[in-house]
Chain A
């Protein structure tokens, strides 16, 4: 059963998603990476990565396609990576530009955070971005993330120097922001 939010569904990747993922990567506005990547990624590269993914009961990452609940259309992708079990993971998101400002990204982020905190029992979620990416920063802040560290002038893209930013959200902060949810995981530290 896919993860479901108010207006989006997060489902597993399928081979037919590969052209859309390549297109997201090849759009300099939507590719979400610490440095600019050449817009030459192909459907076959994505298909190979998809096919190379192996079965595991101990996955270090989870990748999801964001689809509109209303239309079923592909809207973007969201992932967590670098999982430290019961501790932390990094979150990343790429949205088709036509869905910017639609609330889909925010809803998808909330759905994934709920999974990470309630199902995986993580203590902190991190997002790496840069000071030039105001969309990404604002989206993260919407879910309660805050900038906790900034590596000065570490990112060069679009002809400009920006700080590489680390944003994080603690488990307790998440539950404070969601009074309807109860945290039954015993506290440590």
Chain B
């Protein structure tokens, strides 16, 4: 079943998700890796109003879907996920963010698996990609573990702890996904 496993489900964001979303986005460990719309701060603490605007913007984006990740047992918001096909559904994009207390429990891999299944079984996606900061070793390891390949750096994407960092491009092709499915 799409968008659901035994442990979690993906659903649209609702306005009453604001407090839980604000709480985990402002966790220091998510600083610089929030995966929120451009123009919203990636590091500075987010206000309630800003988080409301993020949910509103996510709901309005064309050629994108932003989903809340909710635990099946307690119905708690544990993260957010994105699928996007901005300029061409042949080349789609994904991102998965898991709130700090729920990391390292396999939730991210489950969500990514659902997103890839949806994209490759319901859309013409041939390449699915994602970007992450080069300092974000957890995300790089997560991508590698899920069979994404690193295919270069977008140099000088920003500043982190006083140094320039690069954006890392990772992608997976439909035949590669089919081979490991």
Tell me the A residues contacting B by CB distance below 8 Å: 34-35, 87-88, 123-124, 126, 147-156, 161, 164, 166, 168, 170, 188-189
Distance between Cα atoms of A149 and B154 in the complex (Å): 6
> Which one of B149, B155, B162, B171 has the greatest number of beta carbons of chain A within 10 Å?
B155
Cβ contact within 8 Å between B151 and A152: yes
Q: Which bracket fits the contact residues of B?
A: 20 to 34
Cβ contact within 8 Å between B90 and A154: yes
Distance between Cα atoms of A123 and B158 in the complex (Å): 10
Query: A168 and B91 in contact (CB under 8 A), knowing A151-B127, A152-B127, A154-B127?
Result: no
Total A-B Cβ pairs within 8 A: 68
Cβ contact within 8 Å between B164 and A189: yes
Cβ contact within 8 Å between B154 and A166: yes
9 residue pairs bridging A and B, Cβ less than 8 Å apart:
A35-B88, A150-B169, A151-B127, A154-B129, A155-B90, A170-B156, A188-B159, A189-B156, A189-B164
Cβ contact within 8 Å between A151 and B155: no
Query: 17 more A-B contacts (CB under 8 A) besides A155-B91, A168-B156, A189-B159?
Result: A34-B88, A123-B164, A147-B152, A148-B153, A148-B154, A149-B154, A151-B169, A152-B149, A153-B127, A153-B173, A154-B126, A154-B129, A156-B126, A161-B126, A166-B154, A168-B155, A170-B156
Distance between Cα atoms of A57 and B88 in the complex (Å): 32
Q: Tell me the smallest distance from the CB of A183 to a CB of chain B, in Å.
A: 15
Q: Tell me the smallest distance from the CB of B174 to a CB of chain A, in Å.
A: 9
CB within 8 A of A189: which of B87, B129, B163? B163
Cβ contact within 8 Å between A156 and B159: no
Q: Tell me the smallest distance from the CB of B21 to a CB of chain A, in Å.
A: 25
Which residues in window 122-181 of B have CB below 8 A to A?
A: 126-127, 129, 149, 151-156, 158-159, 162-164, 169, 171, 173
Distance between Cα atoms of A56 and B162 in the complex (Å): 32
Cβ contact within 8 Å between A35 and B87: yes
Residue ID in chain A nearest B88 by CB atoms: A35
Q: Tell me the smallest distance from the CB of B130 to a CB of chain A, in Å.
A: 10
Q: Tell me the smallest distance from the CB of B61 to a CB of chain A, in Å.
A: 16
